[in-house]
Amino acid sequence: MTATIPFVKPVKQISLAPGSTVTIPQVSWQEFELILQQLGENRSARLIYSKGNLEIMVPLPEHEKPKELISDIVKILLKITGRKYEPFGSTTFKKEGIAGVEPDACFYIQNYQCMIGRRRLQVDDPPPDLAIEVDVTSKTAIEAYEAIGVPELWVYDNGRLTIYLLYNSKYSQSEVSPIFPQIPLTQLIPDAVEKSWQVGTVQALEELEALIKN
């Protein structure tokens, strides 16, 4: 269920059921910052701000299970390929006055060293090297990720994984991830997600790891 409503203060008084999405138009950057403060960090709702529009979404289990599975797959692949990383989950990333996103999951890989021990983002921190979004009740705001400058974005939507790579501040679709160039992710990840619904997450991950190692 999606709705567009006038700006309401305080936003924390809006009650949303799981699976609901509310879009608030004509929100200034100052209002967006105020809403983040009002809602706090311990919340189930996720926010996306782009071009003056604020979207508030409360995820369903249909959204959360693939999100966790894909995040676990990334960790498995990084371990197998012997690379270190720092996971930053759904941290709020902002481009002041322009965009704000909270990925379903994100990772610092090339830039992991400078993020070790970071409890709060600093103004000069780089964006995550990889962000992951699962689209169920809403669609990923691609232009917001472009503004923030995330080099690689994965969007899982309706059984399909799309890989976006940033070139000259614009995303282009790719069949291959530069992070995992030898792995057919656009086939492997949808198969693993579907398998998890059938046999459970643990078995799906075990089978995927065995497949990759072999």
Contact status, residue 156 vs residue 66, Cβ threshold 8 Å? yes
| pLDDT tens series, the chain, 214 aa | 555 444 445 666 666 777 788 889 999 999 999 999 888 877 778 899 998 999 998 888 788 899 999 999 999 999 999 999 999 999 999 999 999 999 999 999 999 999 999 999 998 999 999 999 999 877 899 999 999 999 999 999 989 999 999 999 999 999 999 999 999 999 999 999 999 999 999 999 999 999 998 8
pLDDT digits 0-9 by tens, 72-98: 999 999 999 999 999 999 999 999 999
Domain ranges of the chain: 60-213
Contact status, residue 129 vs residue 111, Cβ threshold 8 Å? yes
Identify the CATH number of the domain defined by range 60-213: 3.90.1570
Structure tokens that stand for 19 in this block:
């699976």
Tell me the C-alpha distance between 177 and 9, whole Å: 42
